[in-house]
Amino acid sequence: MVLAQLGGSISRALQQMSNATIIDEKVLNDCLNEITRALLQADVQFKLVRDMSTNIKKIVNLEDLAAGHNKRRIIQQAVYNELCKILDPGKPSFTLKKGKPSVVMFVGLQGSGKTTTCTKYAYHHQKKGWKPALVCADTFRAGAFDQLKQNATKAKIPFYGSYTESDPVKIAVDGVETFKKENCDLIIVDTSGRHKQEAALFEEMRQVSEATKPDLVIFVMDSSIGQAAFDQAQAFRQSVAVGAVIVTKMDGHAKGGGALSAVAATKSPVIFIGTGEHMDEFEVFDVKPFVSRLLG
């Protein structure tokens, strides 16, 4: 995963700083420049990187640090804290309650991995004792219902969809009602995507959301979209109340920095990452262990 390269570059920059005999302004600046370069190469949004660097300089005020202070440690801690801060929007994602019917709506562009992720999310919760169900409200992509049906059947998860109904709002509402009656406690609504951010897509998202009143809207983002991540995530957030992010294809050649940008744009936490095409290639995302691992 290219994220490992990002971690490697940051760790190396910190190590070089640590190896310096005296830590002065120049050493700190060199270290921050290296980290900045690494983050930009990993597609983290420019403004985020610039703010991070400014914040670290503010925290690590070398002149005011009395002799005896461990400057290396302070700089390392500041870098760790700032990376955590980017990934932590400061509010937890909505917590679902087992046994009480919750509706979770998935949004994202076509090809982002939305349908695959819906099943992974359902399967993950099913293993933990939930009663999930899948609703296919994607009437735009031919074959979407078949794909969801196939995935759901494999995971033994009930599903709802239609080959004839063309109104996604009607399918979503009917599906949610059906599964509420069946006492499912996690009703997952997969919605249409488009290749691009389009007004029609956002209007459809708004309508499905208004009709189904989801407890949580999850934005699914392909980690390889790079610098486009921030704008894309923000566009979705402006249409529907995104409450959490799932970043897919973290196993590929993605640089991963888009995840950091998506958090900033949606002010919502990343809750899972997708690490492969299979149902169980799905990991819970926790900021602190992630950043610790990133920095080695």
Residue 115 near ligand GDP by CB under 6 A? yes
Minimum CB separation of residue 118 from ligand GDP in Å reads: 8
CB of 115 to ligand GDP, least distance (A): 3
Nearest by Cα to 221 from 99, 117, 151:
117
Asked if residue 149 binds ligand GDP (CB under 6 A), the reply is: no
Choose one: 14-22, 232-240, 247-255, 284-292; the region binding ligand GDP (CB under 6 A): 247-255
How many CB atoms are closer than 10 A to CB 47?
Answer: 11
Taking the complex as a whole, the smallest distance from the CB of residue 250 to ligand GDP amounts, in Å, to 6
Smallest distance, ligand GDP to C-beta of residue 278, A: 9
Q: Does residue 255 bind ligand GDP (CB under 6 A)?
A: no
Neighbour order of strands in the sheet with 270-274:
159-160, 132-137, 186-191, 102-107, 216-222, 242-248, 270-274, 282-284
Residues with Cβ within 8 Å of residue 70, at least 6 apart in sequence:
none
CB of 95 to ligand GDP, least distance (A): 24
Residues of span 269-288 touching ligand GDP by CB under 6 A? 274-277
116 binds ligand GDP (CB under 6 A): yes
Contacts of 6 (CB under 8 A, 6+ apart): 38, 39, 41, 42, 255, 256, 257, 294
Q: Which of 8, 231, 252, 283 binds ligand GDP (CB under 6 A)?
A: 252
Q: Which is nearer to ligand GDP, 31 or 220 (CB)?
A: 220
**Min dist. Cβ of residue 228 to ligand GDP (A):** 15
The DSSP line for 97-156 is: -TTS-EEEEEE--TTSSHHHHHHHHHHHHHHTT--EEEEEE--SSTTHHHHHHHHHHHHT
Work out whether 168 is an interface residue with ligand GDP (CB under 6 A).
no
Measured distance CA(265)–CA(172) in Å, rounded: 27
Name the residues that contact ligand GDP, by CB under 6 A.
Answer: 108, 110-116, 193, 248-249, 251-252, 274-277
